[in-house]
Amino acid sequence: MEKTRYRWVIVAAGGLLGCVAIGGMFSLPVLLQPIARDTGWSVTGVSSAMTIGFLAMALTSMVWGTLSDRFGPMPVVLTGSVVIAASLGLASLATSLIAFQILFGVMVGAATAAIFAPTMATVTGWFDTHRSLAVSLVSAGMGMAPMTMSPLAAWLISQYDWRTAMQILAVVVAAIMIPVSFLIRRAPALDAAVAPSGGEAPPAEMSLGEALRSPQFIILLATNFFCCATHSGPIIHTVSYAVSCGIPMIAAVTIYSIEGLAGMGGRIAFGLLGDRFGAKRVLVTGLLLQAFGALGYVFAQHLAEFYAAGALFGFIYAGTMPLYSVLVRENFPIRMLGTVIGGLSMAGSLGMATGPIAGGLIYDTFGSYAWLYIGSWAVGLGAFFIILTFRPFPRGEAEPAAVPA
C-alpha cells in the first residue's frame, strides 16, 4: 500500500522537475530582446542558443537514460538539476556570444535532457495500472512551464536587467529542483527484476543491443521524429503567420497561450483514453488527427479562427506525446527503459529542430506560410503510416515485470 501511494509522489515530483527544467530553458525567448539590446549581440546569435539547446538535448538524451538505468534515476536527475542552475548562473555572466551559446545552449540543453528520459522511465516503471494517466500527468506538469516559469521570467525582466533576472532564475531552479530530485526513486519492479533472491538467475530477457536493433524501437524512433517534426513548425511559426495575416502582435501571442491551455487538457484526456483503449490505438488516432490539425491552420485568417485551430492542434499534439513512453514500458524490459526512452527523446528533439529552419526557408522561398502547414500535414501522415506498422513483441519476449499493488 505504501508503494502504491508513493508512486503518485513520483508523478508529482516528475511533473514539478519537468516544469522548472523546461521553464529554465524556455526563459530565453522572454529574455531574448533585452539580452540583444544590452550586449549588442545579434538576435539570431542569441536565439541560436535555443537551437543549440535542442541539439544538445538530442545528443545527450540516450546517455542520460543509460546512466539512469545503470545508477538509478536520482543521481542523474540531481546532476541535471545542479547543472541547469549552475549553467543559468554562469550564462548570466557571459561576456561573449560564444560563451553564452555554450553555457546556455550546450549546458542547459544537455542538463535538461537529464530530467526528461529518467523521469519518464521511472514513472512508467512505478505503474502497472493507470500508467497512461500517470505519464500524462508528468507531461502536464512539464506543460505548465509556459504558464508559470515564463511569466516569472517576464516579471523579473520588467524589474531587473537580464543578468540579474537570469541569476534569480538560477536560484529558483536550484531551490526547487535540487530538493525535489531526492524524491525520485528507482521503481520496485526494477529491483525485483535485477535483484533476484535465493541465488536464482533473473528471467531471460533481450539484450540492450537487441532492443536497439529491433523493428519496434526503430519504428517508435521514426514515428517520434516525424511526429515532432509535424508540430515543430506550427508551434514556432504560428505567431509570425498570424501577424502576416494582419493580427496585432499582442493578440497573436495569445494563440500560443490557447494552444498551451488546450494541451493541458489533451494530456489528461489522452492519458485516460490510453488506459481505457490502449496506448497504441490512441496514439495511432492522435497522429492522424494531428496531421489534419496542422492543416487546419491553412484556413485560419482571423483571430477567432486561429484560436480554434490552436486549441484543436494543442489538444491533440500534447496528448499524443506521453503515449510513446507507455508503449516503451509495455514492450521493453524495465531495466533498459531509460535508454530506450532517451533514444525516443533524441529523435523527438531532432524533429523539433527541423521546425525553425523549415518554416524560415518556406517563408523566404514562397512569401507565405501556407506550405509550412501543408508540409506538416504530409509529415504528420508519414508518422501515422509508420506507427501503423508497429507490432508488439511476442508475449514473453520482453514482458515487463509488474509493480506490486
Task: Give me the mean pLDDT over the 368-377 stretch.
Answer: 93
DSSP state at residue 104: I
Tell me what the pLDDT averaged over the chain comes to.
Answer: 87
388-397 pLDDT, tens per residue?
A: 999 988 765 4
What pLDDT sits at residue 395? 61
Q: Would you place residue 47 in the very low, low, confident or very high pLDDT band (cuts 50, 70, 90)?
A: confident
Task: Give me the mean pLDDT over the 265-270 stretch.
Answer: 92
Q: Using DSSP, state whether 278 is helix, strand or coil.
A: coil
Instruction: Report CA torsion sign: 44, 37, 172, 23.
Output: negative
Instruction: Check whether 99 has a pLDDT greater than 80.
Output: yes
What pLDDT sits at residue 197? 36
d(CA 223, CA 15): 24
Q: Using DSSP, state whether 401 is helix, strand or coil.
A: coil
State which of 35-39, 59-63, 289-293 shows the largest mean pLDDT. 289-293
Q: Would you place residue 333 in the very low, low, confident or very high pLDDT band (cuts 50, 70, 90)?
A: confident
Please check whether residue 71 is in contact with residue 21, taking contact to mean a CB–CB distance below 8 angstroms.
no
Q: Kindly report which listed range (114-123, 157-166, 248-257, 299-308) carries the lowest average pLDDT score.
A: 248-257
Q: Kindly report which listed range (122-131, 143-152, 264-273) carries the lowest average pLDDT score.
A: 143-152
**CATH code for the domain defined by 2-183:** 1.20.1250.20
Percent of all residues in the chain with a pLDDT value above 90, rounded to a whole number:
52
Q: Which residue has the higher pLDDT, 305 or 402?
A: 305
What pLDDT sits at residue 196? 37
What pLDDT sits at residue 189? 65
Going from N- to C-terminal start, the domains of the chain cover 2-183, 208-387
Instruction: Check whether 88 has a pLDDT greater than 90.
Output: yes
d(CA 104, CA 91): 6
Q: Would you place residue 77 in the very low, low, confident or very high pLDDT band (cuts 50, 70, 90)?
A: very high
Which are the contacts of 15, defined by CB distance < 8 A and separation ≥ 6?
Answer: 137, 138, 139, 140, 141, 142, 144
Strands (DSSP E) contained in 3-162 are none
92's grid cell:
548570466
* Alpha helix stretches (DSSP H) within 182-322: 188-194, 208-213, 215-244, 249-277, 279-295, 303-320
Instruction: Check whether 268 has a pLDDT greater than 60.
Output: yes
Instruction: Check whether 144 has a pLDDT greater than 60.
Output: yes
Judge if 2-183 and 208-387 fold alike in CATH terms: yes
Q: Which of 125, 109, 93, 118 is CA-nearest to residue 50?
A: 109
Please check whether residue 287 is in contact with residue 320, taking contact to mean a CB–CB distance below 8 angstroms.
yes
172-220 pLDDT, tens per residue?
A: 999 999 999 999 998 876 655 443 333 333 334 678 888 899 999 999 9
Instruction: Check whether 350 has a pLDDT greater than 80.
Output: yes
Q: Using DSSP, state whether 317 is helix, strand or coil.
A: helix
Q: Would you place residue 169 in the very low, low, confident or very high pLDDT band (cuts 50, 70, 90)?
A: very high
| DSSP conformation letters of 157-221 | HHHS-HHHHHHHHHHHHHHHHHHHHTT----HHHHHHHS-STTPPPPP---HHHHHHSHHHHHHH
Which are the contacts of 241, defined by CB distance < 8 A and separation ≥ 6?
Answer: 297, 369, 372
Q: Which of 309, 325, 302, 324 is CA-nearest to residue 376?
A: 309
Q: Which of 291, 289, 306, 304 is CA-nearest to residue 241?
A: 306
Phi-psi bin for 394: left (phi > 0), alpha (psi -120 to 50), beta?
beta
Exposure letters 273-302 (e unless 16+ CB within 10 A, then b):
bbbeebbbebbbbbbbbbbebbbbbbebee
Please check whether residue 120 is in contact with residue 73, taking contact to mean a CB–CB distance below 8 angstroms.
no
Q: Would you place residue 399 in the very low, low, confident or very high pLDDT band (cuts 50, 70, 90)?
A: very low
Q: Which residue has the higher pLDDT, 19 or 4?
A: 19
Q: Kindly report which listed range (93-97, 147-151, 286-290) carries the lowest average pLDDT score.
A: 147-151
Which are the contacts of 47, defined by CB distance < 8 A and separation ≥ 6?
Answer: 28, 29, 32
What pLDDT sits at residue 147? 75
217-262 pLDDT, tens per residue?
A: 999 999 999 999 999 888 888 888 888 899 987 788 788 888 888 9
d(CA 322, CA 315): 13
Q: Return the C-alpha torsion angle 117, 120, 121, 125, nearest 10.
A: 170
Task: Give me the mean pLDDT over the 38-59 stretch.
Answer: 86
Instruction: Check whether 36 has a pLDDT greater than 80.
Output: yes
What pLDDT sits at residue 190? 62
Superfamily of domain 208-387: MFS general substrate transporter like domains (1.20.1250.20)
d(CA 232, CA 30): 19
